[in-house]
Chains A and B, each alone.
Chain A
Amino acid sequence: MKKIDVIIIGAGPVGLFAVHQLGIKGLKAVVIDNLDKAGGQCIELYPDKPIYDIPAVPECTGKELTDRLLEQIKPFKTELYLNERVEEVTSKGDNWEVKTSNKKEFIAPNIIIAGGVGSFEPRKLSIKDTEKFEGKSIFYAVKNKDEFKNKNICIFGGGDSALDWTLELSKFSKITLIHRRDDFRGAQHTLTEIKKLQKEGKISIKTPFQLDRIEGSEKINAIIIKDDNGKVEKIPTDLVLSFFGLVMKLGPIAEWGLNMDKKTISVNPNNFETNKKGIFAAGDICSYPGKLKLILSGFHEVALASVECFKRARPNEKYRFEFTTSSKTIKDRLGKK
């Protein structure tokens, strides 16, 4: 079990800036996030879209903002635990113990939840009975390509993931690509490649079709697809791959005994502490009177929360407010001369 000053849940802009605010106070943090990269919604939902309301940055994209924050927190050499979701939070005296989906364990006097709208997870197929096939015949990602060799595979979706995996898996399996409309959105060269394979009869494309039902008991035998006019087709199928993007799920956070207001966590706006001592919430996931869901609000929230974190992590030291421009201690922590 790793002992640390602060456990930050969520590697979005607010979680990353929390590292900075804690770091200049001399506190060590770890960051845990369910995505495979830092940046949260900025990197997953709008990496290329411009943001115009970051103070002193007239315009930047979600990706640029993330990169700059990562640069800003570099001096603190903070460990990011990605592809991991925090599952359990339990009280241990004045500390909190955290367990992740990868069975990692941390203990700290403080937790900052900067979880946005929740963790990103694949959007599941919407028809009944898909759950019992999940991990056996239905997949939302390809982890081990070998499991997808010499099979009849139906791929659902119209974006890059669906197109890229159609190309890749068509090398050794029979692929049917199914999409609800005739247009696909993907890189031009990928689309050209797909058209070529279709012409050569190496893949089959079914549009505009959606999944109607599944046949099979233990494993899938066939799927039935349907178009807008009710026309149905049956396709013999071993495996289904579905790529309908990611959704945000609040997940286990709702079970930690925190005071919630719909999908947000109620906090004290003086220090952004929740109803549990030492657990803070900041960014889109917190709520208090007048709350605005802006990145800049999240920055302010973690700045104040970090002061309270200091008091809990260093009960025998006095907190001193300092400016980064003039404090020698802070400059040392930032590695500046």
Chain B
Amino acid sequence: MAKITYIDFQGNSKSIEVENGLTVMEGAIQNNIQGIDADCGGSMACATCHVYVNNEWLDKLPKPEEGEVDMIDMAFEPKKNSRLSCQITVSDELNGLIVTTPEKQS
């Protein structure tokens, strides 16, 4: 279990307890968090679950694989701290993770 905080582009935040093993994307979809579309359902094929990871967390996450970085090229306004939330798996170590969703996903 980890507490994940989702902040939207206007600054509204929602914290959710997400079960270990789910992805940050699934945590959002199951709890009706706005701002994450996840059109492809988590197969790293659409870049519509794009989030900005809070800087202090960025280095604590496992590095993205090449396919994820390639997909982020397609995302809406990518930045240095861009990740696909379908590729971040929740574990106890991620307790307190903060991600911000972009203004839109496509």
Contact = CB atoms under 8 A, between A and B. Distances in A.
B43 A49 contact: yes
B76 A245 contact: no
Interface in A189-227: 210
A179 B73 contact: yes
Contact of A41 (B40, B70, B106): B40
B43 A45 contact: yes
A117 B77 contact: no
B48 A247 contact: yes
A45 B46 contact: yes
Given A228-B79, A248-B39, A123 B45 contact: no
B41 interface: yes
- For this complex, into which size category does the number of interface residues on chain B fall? 20 to 34
Interface string B43-70: 1011110000000000000000010011
Interface residues of A, number: 23
A244 B73 CA distance: 7
A335 B58 CA distance: 60
A180 B46 CA distance: 18
Contact of A248 (B46, B73, B76, B79): B46
A321 to B, nearest CB: 33
A75 interface: no
Given A123-B106, A180-B78, A228-B80, A46 B43 contact: yes
B7 to A, nearest CB: 19
Most chain B Cβ neighbours within 10 Å, of A41, A210, A228: A41
Say whether chain B's binding surface is mostly helix, strand, loop, or mixed.
loop
Contact of B73 (A45, A158, A228): A158
A185 B66 CA distance: 10
A26 interface: no
A293 interface: yes
A283 interface: no
Nearest to A124: B106
A181 interface: yes
A159 interface: yes
Interface in B69-94: 69-70, 73-74, 76-80
Contacts of A126: 76-77, 104
Given A123-B106, A228-B79, A228-B80, A245 B43 contact: no
Contacts of A244: 73-74
Given A41-B40, A185-B70, A247 B77 contact: no
Interface in A244-260: 244-245, 247-249
A237 B46 CA distance: 30
A39 B89 CA distance: 30
B73 A181 contact: yes
Contacts of B79: 228
Given A45-B45, A158-B73, A248-B46, 18 more contacts: A41-B45, A45-B40, A46-B43, A46-B45, A49-B45, A117-B40, A126-B76, A126-B104, A157-B73, A179-B73, A181-B73, A183-B69, A228-B80, A244-B73, A244-B74, A245-B47, A247-B48, A248-B39
Interface of B: 39-41, 43, 45-48, 66, 69-70, 73-74, 76-80, 104, 106
23 contacts: A41-B40, A41-B45, A45-B45, A49-B43, A117-B39, A123-B74, A126-B76, A126-B104, A157-B73, A180-B73, A180-B78, A181-B73, A183-B69, A185-B66, A185-B70, A210-B77, A210-B78, A228-B79, A228-B80, A244-B73, A245-B74, A247-B106, A248-B39
